[in-house]
Amino acid sequence: MESSTYVAANKPVPMAVNEVHTELLFSYGTLQLEAVQMATFGRQLVGTSDALPAFELVLLKIEDQTVVAISGKAHHTMAKFTGRASDVVPGAVFAVTRDEIQNADKYEVAAVKRVAVVLQSGVRAWAYVDARYTPSDS
C-alpha cells in the first residue's frame, strides 16, 4: 500500500517549538475529523495513511452526549480484534505529544481501550480499540 500524506484540514496549525511529537497515534474514525481534533488537541493534525491489520470495524452507539456533541455522531466505528490477516482497518497515523495522548484518552469512551499496535507499514503506534477484544500482548 502506498503511503500518502493525510491533511485533516486545509490549514494545519503548527506546534510550538517546545512541543515535541513523541507518540504515534493511529486513527480510523472520529479523531480524523477537524472538529474533534480542534476540541481534543487544540490543533489540526497532519498524518500519513496506514492500516491496522487483524482488526475489523464494528458500530458503537455513543451514550456520552459530550462526545456526540464534539463528533456530531451518535454512532462511532470501533476496531475489534479478530486475529485474521484478511481483516484490515484503513486510517491515518499522527505524531502527537504525550499530553495530546492524554487528551485523546479523555475524549474516548469507556468501551474502547488504548493499546500498542503494529500497523501495516511496520510502524508501532497507539490505537483505540474495542476493550472487549484486544490482542493478548497489549
What are 38-93's pLDDT values in tens digits? 999 999 999 999 999 999 998 877 777 887 787 777 777 889 999 999 999 999 99
The domain in which residue 28 lies consists of 5-130
What residue has cell string 491496522? 52
Task: Quote the pTM value.
Answer: 0.76
Q: Would you say residue 29 lies in a domain? A: yes
Domain tally, the chain: 1
Q: Would you say residue 135 lies in a domain? A: no
Burial class (CB in 10 A: 0-12, 13-18, 19+), 100: buried
Q: Would you say residue 137 lies in a domain? A: no
Q: Would you say residue 86 lies in a domain? A: yes
Q: Would you say residue 136 lies in a domain? A: no
Q: Would you say residue 61 lies in a domain? A: yes
Burial class (CB in 10 A: 0-12, 13-18, 19+), 125: buried
Task: Please say whether the beta carbons of 54 and 118 come within 8 A.
Answer: no
Q: What is the CATH number of the domain that holds 42?
A: 3.10.490.10
Query: Is pLDDT larger for residue 13 or for residue 111?
Result: 111
Cell of 63: 451514550
What are the residue ranges of helices labelled H in the chain?
A: 34-41, 65-71, 98-107
